[in-house]
Structure formats: C-alpha cells, structure tokens
Amino acid sequence: MSQTVVLEQNAVETQSITLKFDGCSSDANPSPIVNPENQSITIKFDDQASNHHTIPVSIPNVDSETEAAVNEFLRKHGSSDEESVRTDAMNDLWSFIERQEIGTVVVLVKFASDVKNFELLEIFCQRVADVIAKKTVEEVREIFNIANDFTPEEEQAIRDEHRWAFED
C-alpha cells in the first residue's frame, strides 16, 4: 500500500513524498518504511476523507516509555492549532524529560536533529543546557563520561589563554 504523505517542517515549507506501508489500512497504526535520512518526525498523511493522522515514530536506543512520551507530544502538539493545547503538550514533555537520565536526553537530541524537528530539538537541547549550566569543565566531563585527553601542561596553557572561561 502506498500513501502520499506531507512532511511539515514549518508553516512555510511543506514537502511531499510517497511511503510504502506494511500492508495495513489507514485506520490501523501503520509502520512506514522510510530512509532515516529523509524521515521527518511530523509525518502526516491524508486519507480519502481528508482526515489527518499522525504516524508514531520509532526512536532508536530509547525505552518504550520515552518513545511513547515523545509520540504523545507529537500527537497533541501537531494535531492542534490551539496555543493552549500546544503549550500543555510541551509542558508534559518537559516534565517527562526532566526525570530522564542525561544519556537518554542526548540520544533524543541526536534523534530530533536527524529528523529535523526543531520543537523537539529545542526542548531536548534546553534540558542538556540546564544540566550543564554553572558546572566546571571537570563536572561536565564527568556528566558526559568524557576522558581528559590533555596533558596537565596543555590544560594549563588553555586555562591561561582563556582565563575568563574558567572563572567562577
């Protein structure tokens, strides 16, 4: 079964492509077969009655609860023009993301970037920024499991050259 879908990136740009679905009707929850490089997270398709459906997306490397929370945000946020509904959807997702480990949020940042969903990208990046705000370089390295590959001399030279970046 083929359907023409509309990939909505923002209010100005709209792109259409044809996707193949795993032999299910538009009333079921179809699983699109999409090249990840061309996938958009706000995939909608029109059936014959001009009803809009949001297709749930699969997010690699996250648990089903996280995937469900993101899909719920997309369903609510993408299906309404009412600002209050969109704001509620964003607040619900934010409340969920605040409770997640930073590793999960980083995976979600990459996913949102890959699919070019800027609302999700903004939420996830803000969460990462909140986590590392007012942290020292050493604390950020610890949070993200980053090994220090500078010798003590190289690190001191950087600290001397960019003293402002290491001030409290």
CA 40 to chain centre: 11
Domain boundaries, the chain: 2-132, 137-166
**pLDDT (0 to 100) of residue 161:** 95
pTM, to two decimals: 0.62
Sequence-distant (6+) residues with CB within 8 A of 36 are 114, 115
User: Which pLDDT score is estimated for 91?
Assistant: 93
Residue whose pair of structure tokens reads 């890959």 in the numeric block: 114
pLDDT tens, residue order, the chain (168 aa): 444 444 444 444 444 444 444 444 444 444 444 444 444 444 444 444 334 455 677 888 889 999 999 988 888 887 778 888 889 999 999 999 999 999 999 999 999 998 888 989 999 999 999 999 999 889 999 999 999 999 999 999 999 999 988 776
Per-residue tokens: 31: 């699983």
